[in-house]
């Protein structure tokens, strides 16, 4: 703490762990039921990331047990890459520490999720997190860890060499929470996770209830991602200074070509003449004014291509449809995609599936299921840009004139999802995403319109056919009795002919 000022006010700083300890709601740990949900979500998310890093079909097991004192034990295990043993204490015991800060699509973003769950467990039950991880066939480590909140440092209570059954990680957290209020939400989250991750086997069990297994419904994993260099339009002064200090190049031109994507030899020449600086300018000697000029020019120059998309890994048509069909009864299903487009130099791709099925709530506006990088978002729906766009649409124009059981599943893939808060529950109102989502929903809406027309015509056709059959059967019966025939002739050929030869009747 610094010395008191003349006014008597004292100044101090707090660690990131202390900040989130004081502002738990920002990270989705605001109350005991949300804390249970967020713990499961963060652990499952990390497990799926770890399995995909290993390019293995995920096998994730979730066990939740409670006692009368409302203390829960949540254990999630996976067959992922495991953690380098020396990194385990910091990964689980230091807020804002992680391995996912590079530029590629992952579920994890902030280096915060699991540490918040550890922190919540620690402050509500005084229990350490238990991390049991194994990275190869010959060793395994088990840690008992706590967080020194003031210093934002891990406290290792115990560390031992213990083999697991196989490579992967099991994380066990004890926390005080309210399972009853949130159990259905957890089931819904896991079901939607299975819909967006159909190549995963997800098993869950609450207390002594029998376990439930979802998937795998498909064998193939989505394509792997590669970290991308920054796009020139993503720069600001801070990033520019960092790139310059990290670069091995001395002069401006090679620095631009090696540090950025969409900046090859030809584009660099055009950009340098737009910028008006010498190609050989030594980057280490650039004045603040020159750096600022470079920064502005990068944002204004219109010759850079769209951000690369190989750092994205969308679900894809086949897997998304497979995942939804395996988890929901659907009578109609249609996939659409929009992008890749750009948000502040980051690539964004939108995928949508529109489905009709009697399991979905019947309404005049379709039920929206939101996903970000394949993670279902169940809270804060009203604040989300996707909800806003869906509500803005005039669904009557697309044939939804009365309540119908229609659902729209929307997945946003990006190297940077503009979450509204660290709890990663809703997406901010970014114009590019809003416009993209509107265009995707409109195209799904047009196909819905056609489907509703076809379904309506088929229903009318069936009704008409039933009525005609009945009338012709009565006429045949009456005719037979008038003619004193005991056997009533079959009316089926007439009906079939009638409906076949007269297509107008089918509408």
Footprint of ligand ATP on this chain (CB under 6 A)?
Answer: 42, 46-47, 50, 78, 80-81, 83, 91, 98-100, 108-115, 169
Least separation in angstroms between CB 366 and ligand ATP = 29
Q: What is the DSSP letter of 419?
A: B
Least separation in angstroms between CB 49 and Mg ion = 7
Helix (H) or strand (E) holding 349: strand 346-356
- Partner that binds at residue 83, options Mg ion, ligand ATP, none, CB closer than 5 to 8 Å by kind: ligand ATP
Which token pair is 233?
A: 């339009």
Specify the residue, 30 or 357, whose C-beta has the smaller distance to ligand ATP. 30
Least separation in angstroms between CB 75 and ligand ATP = 12
Least separation in angstroms between CB 148 and ligand ATP = 16
- Partner that binds at residue 342, options ligand ATP, Mg ion, none, CB closer than 5 to 8 Å by kind: none
Least separation in angstroms between CB 112 and ligand ATP = 4
Bridge-based pairing of strands 59-66 and 201-206 is: parallel
- Partner that binds at residue 78, options Mg ion, ligand ATP, none, CB closer than 5 to 8 Å by kind: ligand ATP
Least separation in angstroms between CB 97 and Mg ion = 11
- Within 94-113, the residues that bind Mg ion by CB under 5 A are 108, 113
Q: Is 32 in the site for Mg ion (CB under 5 A)?
A: no
Tell me which residue has its CB nearest to ligand ATP: 108
Specify the residue, 89 or 307, whose C-beta has the smaller distance to ligand ATP. 89
Specify the residue, 58 or 436, whose C-beta has the smaller distance to ligand ATP. 58
Q: Is 115 in the site for Mg ion (CB under 5 A)?
A: no
Q: Pseudo-torsion of CA 180, 181, 183, 184, nearest 10°?
A: 130
- Partner that binds at residue 169, options ligand ATP, Mg ion, none, CB closer than 5 to 8 Å by kind: ligand ATP
Which residues, in sequence order, are bridge partners of residue 408?
354, 368
Sheet of 139-148: strands edge to edge?
153-161, 139-148, 129-136, 168-176, 71-78, 59-66, 201-206, 212-214
- Partner that binds at residue 34, options Mg ion, ligand ATP, none, CB closer than 5 to 8 Å by kind: none
Specify the residue, 89 or 445, whose C-beta has the smaller distance to ligand ATP. 89
Least separation in angstroms between CB 122 and Mg ion = 17
Helix (H, G, I), strand (E, B) or coil at 227: coil
Specify the residue, 28 or 405, whose C-beta has the smaller distance to ligand ATP. 28
**Whether the Cβ atoms of residue 279 and residue 251 lie closer than 8 Å to each other:** yes
Specify the residue, 108 or 140, whose C-beta has the smaller distance to Mg ion. 108
The number of beta carbons lying within 10 Å of the beta carbon of residue 254 is 16
- Partner that binds at residue 332, options ligand ATP, Mg ion, none, CB closer than 5 to 8 Å by kind: none
- In sequence order, what E strands does 108-194 have? 129-136, 139-148, 153-161, 168-176
Least separation in angstroms between CB 107 and ligand ATP = 7
Q: Is 337 in the site for Mg ion (CB under 5 A)?
A: no
Specify the residue, 96 or 123, whose C-beta has the smaller distance to Mg ion. 96
Helix (H) or strand (E) holding 258: helix 252-259
Region of residue 399 (left: phi > 0; alpha: psi -120 to 50; beta: else): left
Which residues, in sequence order, are bridge partners of residue 469?
none
Q: Report the distance separating Cα 496 and Cα 355, nearest Å.
A: 32
Q: Is 28 in the site for Mg ion (CB under 5 A)?
A: no
Q: Report the distance separating Cα 385 and Cα 417, nearest Å.
A: 12
Q: What is the DSSP letter of 229?
A: P
C-alpha neighbours within 13 Å on the C-beta side of residue 432:
17
**Whether the Cβ atoms of residue 411 and residue 372 lie closer than 8 Å to each other:** yes
**Whether the Cβ atoms of residue 196 and residue 315 lie closer than 8 Å to each other:** yes
Long-range residue pairs from 31-35, CB within 8 A, at least 24 positions apart, any chain: 31/178, 32/70, 32/124, 32/176, 32/177, 32/178, 33/177, 33/178, 33/179, 33/181, 33/182, 34/182, 34/379, 35/117, 35/120, 35/124, 35/175, 35/177
Specify the residue, 50 or 356, whose C-beta has the smaller distance to ligand ATP. 50
Identify which range of 44-52, 382-390, 437-445, 496-504 contacts Mg ion by CB under 5 A: 44-52
Q: Report the distance separating Cα 126 and Cα 175, nearest Å.
A: 9
DSSP secondary structure of 367-416: EEEEEETTEEE-S-GGG-HHHHHHHHS-GGGGT--S-EEEEEEEEEEESS
Q: Is 46 in the site for Mg ion (CB under 5 A)?
A: yes
Helix (H, G, I), strand (E, B) or coil at 352: strand
Least separation in angstroms between CB 93 and ligand ATP = 10
- Tell me the helix, strand and coil percentages in the chain, rounded to 5: 40, 20, 35
Specify the residue, 43 or 386, whose C-beta has the smaller distance to ligand ATP. 43
Specify the residue, 98 or 347, whose C-beta has the smaller distance to ligand ATP. 98
Q: Is 373 in the site for Mg ion (CB under 5 A)?
A: no
- Partner that binds at residue 65, options Mg ion, ligand ATP, none, CB closer than 5 to 8 Å by kind: none
Least separation in angstroms between CB 291 and ligand ATP = 31
Q: Is 193 in the site for Mg ion (CB under 5 A)?
A: no
Identify which range of 46-54, 260-268, 281-289, 301-309 contacts Mg ion by CB under 5 A: 46-54
Specify the residue, 80 or 405, whose C-beta has the smaller distance to Mg ion. 80
Least separation in angstroms between CB 42 and ligand ATP = 5
Least separation in angstroms between CB 116 and ligand ATP = 7
Specify the residue, 95 or 256, whose C-beta has the smaller distance to Mg ion. 95
Which residues would be at the binding site for Mg ion (CB under 5 A)? 46, 108, 113
């Amino acid at each position: 703490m610094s010395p008191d000022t003349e006014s008597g006010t004292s100044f101090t700083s707090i660690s990131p762990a202390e900040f989130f300890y004081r502002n738990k709601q920002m990270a989705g740990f605001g109350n005991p039921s949300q804390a249970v949900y967020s713990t499961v979500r963060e652990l499952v998310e990390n497990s799926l990331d770890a399995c995909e890093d290993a390019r293995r079909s995920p096998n994730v097991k979730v066990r939740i047990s409670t006692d009368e004192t409302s203390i829960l034990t949540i254990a999630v295990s996976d067959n992922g890459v495991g953690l380098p043993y020396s990194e385990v204490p910091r990964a689980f015991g230091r807020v804002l520490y992680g391995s996912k800060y590079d530029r590629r699509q992952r579920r994890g973003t902030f280096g915060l999720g699991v540490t918040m769950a550890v922190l919540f467990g620690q402050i509500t039950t005084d229990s350490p997190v238990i991390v049991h991880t194994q990275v190869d066939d010959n060793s395994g480590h088990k840690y008992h860890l706590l967080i020194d909140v003031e210093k934002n440092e891990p406290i290792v209570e115990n560390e031992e060499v213990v083999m697991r059954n196989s490579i992967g990680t099991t994380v066990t957290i004890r926390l005080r929470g309210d399972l009853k209020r949130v159990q259905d939400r957890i089931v819904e989250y896991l079901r939607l996770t299975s819909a967006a991750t159909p190549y995963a086997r997800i098993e869950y069990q609450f207390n002594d209830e029998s376990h439930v297994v979802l998937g795998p419904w498909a064998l193939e994993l989505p394509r792997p991602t590669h970290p991308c260099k920054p796009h020139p339009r993503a720069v600001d002064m801070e990033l520019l200074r960092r790139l310059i200090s990290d670069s091995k190049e001395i002069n401006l031109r090679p620095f631009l070509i090696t540090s950025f994507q969409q900046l090859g030899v030809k584009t660099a020449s055009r950009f340098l003449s737009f910028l008006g600086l010498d190609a050989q300018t030594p980057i280490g000697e650039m004045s603040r004014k020159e750096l600022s000029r470079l920064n502005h020019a990068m944002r204004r120059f219109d010759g850079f291509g769209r951000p690369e998309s190989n750092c994205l890994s969308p679900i894809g048509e086949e897997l998304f449809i497979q995942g939804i069909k395996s988890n929901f009864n659907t009578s109609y299903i249609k996939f659409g995609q929009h992008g890749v487009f750009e948000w502040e130099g980051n690539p964004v791709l939108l995928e949508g599936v529109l489905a009709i099925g009697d399991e979905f709530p019947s309404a005049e506006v379709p039920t929206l299921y939101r996903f970000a990088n394949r993670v279902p978002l169940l809270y804060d729906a009203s604040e989300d840009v996707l909800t806003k766009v869906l509500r803005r649409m005039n669904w009557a124009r697309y044939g939804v004139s009365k309540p119908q059981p229609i659902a729209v599943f929307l997945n946003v893939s990006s190297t940077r999802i503009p979450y509204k808060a660290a709890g990663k529950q809703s997406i901010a109102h970014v114009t590019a995403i809003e416009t993209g989502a509107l265009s995707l929903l409109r195209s799904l809406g047009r196909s819905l319109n056609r489907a509703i027309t076809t379904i309506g015509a088929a229903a009318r056709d069936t009704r008409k056919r039933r009525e005609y059959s009945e009338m012709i059967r009565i006429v045949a019966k009456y005719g037979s009795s008038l003619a004193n025939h005991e056997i009533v002739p079959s009316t089926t050929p007439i009906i079939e002919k009638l409906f076949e030869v007269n297509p107008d009747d089918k509408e």
